[in-house]
Structure 1
Amino acid sequence: MFNRRLIAAALRIAFITGACVTHPLHAQVAAPEYGVRLESAATGSSVRRYNLAPSPVPINRSFSELSAEERDTVRLWFESLKTSEEPPYPVEGLRPIYAAISKAQQFILTWGRLKARAWIDVTGNVDRIEFFELPDPRLREVVTATLFPMKFKPALCAGRPCEMEFPIDVTFKSP
């Protein structure tokens, strides 16, 4: 028979060193991210700053992973969303959109606001994109190339998938 004290000590050591494998239900969720940081810090600093204004909701979460309060924040992005409706949302969260736009911005070196609207069809695919504000016309290609292959959770109208727009509103911070 195993010595109970020996087993208890081994379990304490394994727990302290992190050697225990946790059950998937008890696994920690990644910390929420609200923006994409620059790849390197500015000269004389060790802090990598955001070059895009941070999002009001975590960008590394799908719609179902957002808290009820965060989902309500997303709902505010839609002007006439009824209580029985649910908005479209990127399956992988906002991070892929923010990351692509951030990387392009670092290359283009433009500042200002990008406002667009992507129409998401009933299957969760981007149907078309309308642009309202562009600080640089080259960003149109980046946004288009990023959004068209992306998969979205389709909007729900009265419990059924429906077409709805998804707003893109990003502000590029000045250096």
Structure 2
Amino acid sequence: MNTRTYACRGLILAVLLQLAGLSPTLAADLPKKQMSLMEDETGTRFKQVWATSKVIPLNRRYAELDEAEKTALQSMYEDMKPGDEPPFPADGLLPVFNAIKKGMEAYSARGELDLLVDVDSQGRATHVSAHGKVDPDMAKFAARVLMATSFKPAVCSGQPCKMQYLFQINFAMR
């Protein structure tokens, strides 16, 4: 096989929204950087934070990240060379998080879950392995969500390539 696969280190990603046809003149129209996802209704006057990111804005796709954010993301991969890019969910993480949230509620999931996704050079998930301490049915549910997710393929030496993508989530009461 002549494509490279990078081993992933810890990576916590959050929700990004697609802005089709983004041009430099439209960059100013992007919403402010959103660093947490709030649950709409919690039965109280307060919204519950259920997804956060300290590195990646929740409302950006990979192409919409600034250079510092891309560098921070790339630094979480071993041997990531300048110009190379990791795979990333093609429609952003909003659909992924929303689907996994439904499973979290159905399974009353608690604990940490790491999902390692093999993404081919066309951006298709080919395999997902789950590691963590959550209900096995929740892990299978989350793996199915990621198998159904289309990805922006990784880029190695200027060409689309196979690479792994790590999705980490901590199911906790806040």
| TM-score strictly above 0.5 | yes
State the Cα distance separating 1:147 from its structure 2 match. 1.6
State the Cα distance separating 1:28 from its structure 2 match. 1.9
Which structure 2 residues correspond to residues 6-155 of structure 1 after superposition, within 5 A? 25=25, 28-43=29-44, 46-52=45-51, 54-55=52-53, 56-155=55-154
Comparing 161-170 with 110-119, greater Cα deviation is found at 110-119
State the Cα distance separating 1:58 from its structure 2 match. 1.8
Aligned length: 149
C-alpha offsets along residues 110-165 of structure 1, whole Å, 9 cap, x if unaligned?
Answer: 22211111011000110111112141112223223322222211111100111000
State the Cα distance separating 1:93 from its structure 2 match. 1.6
State the Cα distance separating 1:36 from its structure 2 match. 3.0
Cross-structure match for 1:172: 171
Q: 1:132 to 1:40 in 2, by over 3 A?
A: same
1:126, 1:147 within 8 Å by CA — same for their partners in 2?
yes
Unaligned runs of 5+ in 2: 1-23
State the Cα distance separating 1:42 from its structure 2 match. 4.3
Cross-structure match for 1:157: 156
Matching residue's letter, 1:64: A
Matching residue's letter, 1:41: T
Q: 1:81 to 1:108 in 2, by over 3 A?
A: same
**Larger Rg, first or second structure (1 or 2):** 1
Matching residue's letter, 1:96: P
1:35, 1:98 within 8 Å by CA — same for their partners in 2?
no
State the Cα distance separating 1:64 from its structure 2 match. 0.6
Which structure carries more strand by proportion? Answer: 2
Structure 2 CA distance for aligned equivalents of residues 51 and 69 of structure 1 = 25
Matching residue's letter, 1:66: L
Structure 1 CA distance for aligned equivalents of residues 37 and 102 of structure 2 = 9
